[in-house]
Structure 1
Amino acid sequence: MNTALWDVYARCYDAVARLRPYEKMVLEIAREVPERPGRVLDAGCGTGNLTRALAAKHPREIVAADLSAAMLRRSQRKNPGATYVRADLDGDLAEVSGVFDVIVCGHVLYALADPARTLATLKSRLAPGGRLVLTTPRAGARMGPIVREHGILALWRFILPLLVVGVINARILRTSSYHFLTRDELSGLLGAAEIRPTYSGQSWLAVYSTGPELDLTNGSRLS
């Protein structure tokens, strides 16, 4: 992964986080996480917006992992109570110890060299009855629907950093090494999972569980 690109992205990424469709997506992800879930891994934590939503679920421990040092620094300022690990999700996650009751992976999969390998690694780190929740941009994703849902006139307050994000995203979309998946492709990589659109229909939200389901009302196992 090109860490230099993501270090630059870290400086302006929170302009995206202020978009209403992004805020809705974070809430959708958080709704898939039970209260007091035990150990939680934010795999590819970025600037920590999803980590903050996970902290509101009162887990026993949050581990936030990312390869970009700039992303980790920004996340740590927002979420000082998390445990931070610099780790490459293209690798075997040897830097991250143990198993997790919940793993979230928000908009990371598309940028990895081998999504199938990473998904297999993340699934292997789930505790029995654990849950993997991920989002990833779909094939043919565009910024237009996201901007329209937020409201074009409401963009003026953070238009400059958003323009930088737009330039970076345009570069990403032109690069063949990124993986923008159809629903069927994601289903094939992940296996049995619930998959639905999110982020103004420009991304997929997938939920994969192992063993007994988690009771989302109190975090206990369902027999």
Structure 2
Amino acid sequence: MRRLLWDVYARCYDVVARLSPYERMVCEIVGEVPLQPGRVLDAGCGTGNLTRAVRARRPGEIVAVDLSPVMLERSRRKNPGVTHVRADLDGDLREVPGAFDVILCGNVLYAVTDPERTLAVLKSRLAPGGRLIVTTPRAGAGVTAILREHVRDRGVLSLGRIILPLLAVGAINVWLLGSAAHHFFTRDQLAALLGEAEIRATYSEQAWLAVLPSPRDARPSRPRASS
């Protein structure tokens, strides 16, 4: 049932990528990715919008994982050359071997069964000096502020061509935000889960952007032994 929900969501989700607050959030996330990182994992890649943006940082390799086959297929179309793997973030990611210099977890954490366990798995897959970048909807999040900011930026007429799929996405989001099965954190709750992370608001202040370790505390990666 859970996979079916995300398969349906995938068919209309990309309309969100046309909203200016979403575009700004993606830019903020990509800004936290170092130039030319060795390996990047997009954990919960969805339809591949973040994966596509991160490719501009020229990583050595990107691996994109998601539970939904429909999400993965849409991401593959946007991201030729990226390795796509079907995997459940409630599992141990054994489908994806090795360590990563950057791990992205974009608006996924709220939907896993046990966020603490998922974060522990992701942290365990960081290479020395690696960086985990997480966005997740905050407690009390809603869609009104996002739409208001977009209209302020581009005018109400900009909604004309996207209103129908946007209504579908909005309906699913209302259900997600109201479901007791999902997890929406205060800043303090997210800080307790992540430890020494820098956390700030993004996406019209409806989501948190967390970077672990904090860029102020991050140390350069140790040189890798040559093979």
Q: Please give the residue correspondences for 1:12-23 in structure 2 after superposition, counting only pairs within 5 Å.
A: 12-23=12-23
Tell me, what secondary structure is at the counterpart of 2:97? coil
2:218 aligned partner, one-letter code? E
Gap change, CA 1:214 and 1:70, over 3 Å in 2: farther
- In the alignment, which residue of structure 1 is the partner of 2:123? 123
Tell me which amino acid in the other structure corresponds to 1:208.
L
Residue 36 of structure 1: SS of its match in structure 2? coil
Ranges of 4+ aligned residues in structure 1 off by more than 3 Å: none
Tell me by how many angstroms 1:214 deviates: 5.8
Task: State how far apart, in whole Å, the 1-side matches of 2:38 and 2:12 are.
Answer: 32
Q: Which runs of 5 or more residues in structure 1 are unaligned?
A: none
> Normalised by the size of structure 2, how large is the TM-score?
0.92
Question: Which residue of structure 1 aligns with residue 97 of structure 2?
Answer: 97
**CA drift at 1:221:** 6.5
Pair 124,210 (structure 1): closer, same or farther in 2 beyond 3 Å = farther
- The structure 2 residue matched to 1:202, chosen from 184, 200, 206, is 206
Q: Which runs of 5 or more structure 2 residues have no equivalent in the other structure?
A: none
Call closer, same or farther: CA 1:60–1:148 in 2, change over 3 Å.
Answer: same
Aligned Cα root-mean-square deviation (Å): 1.8
**2: CA distance, partners of 1:67 / 1:106:** 14
User: Aligned partner of 1:92: which letter?
Assistant: D
User: d(CA) in 1 for partners of 2:138 and 2:214?
Assistant: 24
How many residue pairs get aligned? The number is 218
How many angstroms apart in 2 are the aligned matches of 1:221 and 1:201? Answer: 35
> Which of 1 and 2 has higher RCO (CA within 8 Å, sep 6+)?
1
Aligned to 1:163: 167
Does the C-alpha gap of structure 1 residues 210 and 18 become closer, same or farther in structure 2, counting only changes over 3 Å? closer
Q: d(CA) in 1 for partners of 2:213 and 2:204?
A: 25
CA positional deviation for 1:210: 8.7
Instruction: Give yes or no for contact 1:129–1:210 (8 Å, CA) kept in 2.
Output: no
**Match for residue 218 of structure 2 among 196, 213, 217:** 213
Equivalent runs, 1:100-111 vs 2, <5 Å: 100-111=100-111
Q: Deviations over 1:90-123 (max 9, x none)?
A: 1111111100000001000000100000000000
AA at the equivalent of 2:77: R
8 A contact 2:196–2:214 mirrored in 1:
no
